[in-house]
Amino acid sequence: MEDPDGAFSFDFEGGLDAAADLSAGSFAPPDHAEAAAITGFTPPYSAGGAPADGYGRRNFRKTVCRHWLRGLCMMGDACAFLHQYDKDRMPVCRFFRLNGGCREQDCLYRHITSDIKECNMYKLGFCPNGPDCRYRHAKHPGPPPPVEEVFEKIQQLNSQLWFFKISSSHHQPLD
């Protein structure tokens, strides 16, 4: 850790000196297979920008790229999103999704709630994101009322209907 000169040196500095000796032309980026072996993650797209088999193919370029709309997409042909304006394939407006409404008059994004996926956490009973959740919180009807309660209501309605029939038959208009 400490050099004979009294200066500190770190274990990784030897690798830095070796990396400085490499010329810029001889440096090659790591292979995807090598990266997958190290990290355990396989990239979703092949080197050509096309989706790899299986992962991501289902949604590949079905939605317009938000960054491309603003001229900020740096992925180019490797981008998994669509780089052409198509009103039917626009992403859902983030303000509409979060607030239920959008104030922008000429908003480019979609304002349809059916396009937003339903929140699985909310379906289970509690979503930790609350109103800031990116998914739709659909309110489902509660459990059905007990049979006894339904039966009582039916009897009550029948008795009211029976009373109405009797009272209306006694009060017939005079000719």
Report the mean per-residue pLDDT for the chain: 71
CATH T-level topology, domain 66-132: CCCH zinc finger (4.10.1000)
Residue 87's pLDDT band, with cuts at 50, 70 and 90, is confident
Report domain extents, the chain: 66-132
Which residues, in sequence order, are CB contacts of 56 under 8 Å at separation 6+? 44, 45, 80
Residue 80: both structure tokens together = 């998994």
pLDDT per position as a tens digit, 150-163: 888 888 888 877 66
Question: Average pLDDT in the 79-104 region?
Answer: 82
Q: How many CA atoms lie within 13 A of 140 on its CB side?
A: 11
| The pLDDT of residue 39 is above 60 | no
From residue 9, alpha-carbon distances to 1, 6, 55, 104 in Å are: 5, 9, 45, 57
Q: Enter the pTM of the model.
A: 0.35
pLDDT-above-90 percentage for the chain: 1
Cβ count near 35 (within 10 Å): 14
Which amino acid type is present at position 39? Answer: T
pLDDT band at 15 (very low <50, low <70, confident <90, very high): low
Q: What is the pLDDT of residue 17?
A: 58
- Per-residue pLDDT for 53 more than 50? no
Instruction: Provide mean pLDDT across the span 2-6.
Output: 64
Which DSSP category does 105 fall into? T
The radius of gyration of the chain's CA atoms, rounded to the nearest angstrom, is 33
Adjacent-strand bridge partners of 110: 92
